[in-house]
């Protein structure tokens, strides 16, 4: 039960998205549409996969997810297509390259952390195995000491009975 046509909605959304990045209240006043309606449209656009719906933010203030989405979109583009894409989004090709490098570095750090965690887990397993071995040895020694004490008491009790007879 939409009050607005799809074309009107798309044209209004373009004003909110890069490269314009105009604020919702400003566009709402110009278009005569309720602020909440525009916020909902922007939210729906984000859910539909529009990578960087504008919220009046500068490109460096975008969320990491939005930056990653821009990098993924631009990954298969040649220089000409990348330039056109950047113009439409209000970006510079250098930003896309910088964000791509940051994504790669983040993946490398994550891989290094996983490798470190595997190494720590291996060391922990070795330490646990050594501690369990030591625990078994001490349990055996304790059992032996307890057996000797019991035998000593029995022997003492036996000698006392013999002396009493």
CB within 8 Å of 31: residues ≥ 6 apart: 12
Residue 68 CB-density burial (10 A; 0-12 exposed, 13-18 middle, 19+ buried) = middle
In sign, the C-alpha dihedral spanning 117, 121, 126, 127 is: positive
The model's pTM is 0.42
Helix or strand run (H / E) with residue 140: helix 93-164
Enumerate residue ranges in the chain where pLDDT < 50: 1, 52, 54-56
Q: Which long-range contacts (CB under 8 A, 24 or more apart) does 83-87 make?
A: 87/19
CB 21 within 8 A of CB 90: yes
Instruction: Find tokens 């859910």 and name the residue.
Output: 47
The tens digit of pLDDT for each residue in 72-104 reads 888 888 888 888 888 877 788 888 889 999 888
């Amino acid at each position: 039960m939409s009050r607005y046509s799809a074309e009107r909605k798309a044209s209004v959304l373009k004003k909110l998205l890069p490269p314009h990045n105009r604020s919702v209240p400003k566009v709402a006043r110009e278009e005569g549409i309720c602020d909440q309606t525009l916020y909902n449209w922007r939210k729906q656009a984000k859910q539909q996969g529009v990578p960087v719906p504008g919220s009046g933010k500068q490109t460096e203030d975008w969320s990491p997810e939005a930056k990653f989405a821009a990098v993924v979109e631009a990954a298969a583009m040649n220089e000409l297509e990348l330039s056109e894409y950047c113009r439409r989004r209000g970006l510079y090709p250098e930003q896309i390259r910088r964000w791509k490098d940051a994504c790669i570095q983040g993946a490398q750090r994550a891989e290094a952390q996983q490798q470190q965690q595997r190494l720590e887990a291996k060391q922990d397993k070795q330490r646990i195995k050594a501690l369990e071995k030591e625990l078994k040895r001490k349990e055996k020694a304790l059992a032996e000491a307890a057996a000797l004490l019991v035998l000593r008491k029995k022997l003492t009790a036996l000698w006392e009975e013999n002396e009493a007879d």
